[in-house]
């Protein structure tokens, strides 16, 4: 399993939020490129970039994304946040991202997701953001009334690059992961599982690896120093 530093973009800065609340910002790095360079220096080579403003329809950090993705050759970036048009999927991939993360429209419009997944096989990752067991959309602000199991079943036939499952109820709280949720997803879906939300310790990462996660997105614990980033990079990079 690989550990993937999160680079969440808001108003041009790299931030970390508690519980997905835009009113609970705990970390801010004014230049996201500084964050990327920090993680690179420790040995990380795969990164998860999210445009939080685009996810809520409150702006765009596309220029910042472009700077990050073009910084150095040989790095792997998954990029998401407000990707709701096929043209944007194409633009993100053309800009150098290895895969594009689609959430809201993917959950709400299966026909559209099928179209883009078949157009870019293996390069579209679906974000299933979960509160409890309900999948939520629109920057974690809207409920879908759909259980994660139902969503996984609908997505099973598609040629996806993976599933990014975020336990929103654990996000940014440094309280550990929702291991039963992640184990269920890994067991019931053939797609790669990228787990997110609550990673706090090396043991959290080891537990996710044991239940079958392909990758784990790590944010708050790295940025606050709760996790020893060097130790994480040593054990969970490829």
In eight-state DSSP terms, residue 89 is: H
CA distance 202 to 195: 14
63 catalytic residue (yes or no): no
Radius of gyration of the chain (CA): 16
Per annotation, catalytic residue among 8, 51, 178, 204: 8
Cβ contacts of 16 within 8 Å, gap of 6 or more: 6, 8, 25, 26, 27, 172, 219, 220, 223, 224
* Cβ atoms 20, 175 nearer than 8 A: no
| Token pair belonging to 78 | 């998954």
Per annotation, catalytic residue among 51, 53, 129, 204: 129
In eight-state DSSP terms, residue 192 is: P
Q: Residue 7: how many CB atoms within 10 A of its CB?
A: 25
Identify which of 81, 40, 41 has the alpha carbon closest to the alpha carbon of residue 61: 81
8 catalytic residue (yes or no): yes
Classify residue 212 as left (phi > 0), alpha (psi -120 to 50) or beta.
left
Active site positions, annotated? 8, 129
């Amino acid at each position: 399993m690989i550990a993937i530093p999160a680079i969440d973009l808001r108003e041009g800065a790299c931030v970390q939020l508690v519980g997905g609340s835009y009113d609970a910002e705990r970390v801010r790095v004014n230049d996201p490129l500084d964050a990327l360079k920090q993680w690179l220096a420790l040995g990380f080579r795969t990164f998860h970039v999210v445009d939080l403003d685009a996810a809520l329809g409150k702006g765009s950090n596309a220029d910042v994304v472009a700077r990050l993705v073009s910084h150095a050759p040989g790095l792997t970036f998954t990029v998401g946040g407000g990707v709701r048009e096929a043209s944007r999927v194409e633009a993100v991939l053309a800009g150098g991202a290895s895969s594009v993360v689609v959430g809201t429209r993917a959950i709400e419009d299966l026909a559209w997701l099928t179209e883009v997944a078949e157009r870019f096989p293996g390069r579209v990752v679906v974000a299933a953001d979960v509160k409890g067991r309900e999948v939520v959309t629109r920057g974690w602000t809207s409920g879908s009334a759909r259980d994660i199991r139902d969503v996984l079943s609908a997505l099973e036939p598609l040629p996806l690059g993976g599933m990014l499952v975020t336990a929103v109820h654990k996000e940014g709280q440094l309280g550990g992961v929702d291991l039963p949720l992640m184990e269920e997803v890994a067991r019931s879906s053939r797609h790669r599982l990228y787990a997110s939300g609550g990673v706090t310790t090396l043991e959290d990462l080891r537990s996710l690896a044991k239940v079958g996660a392909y990758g784990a997105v790590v944010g708050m614990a790295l940025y606050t120093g709760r996790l020893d980033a060097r130790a994480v990079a040593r054990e969970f990079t490829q």
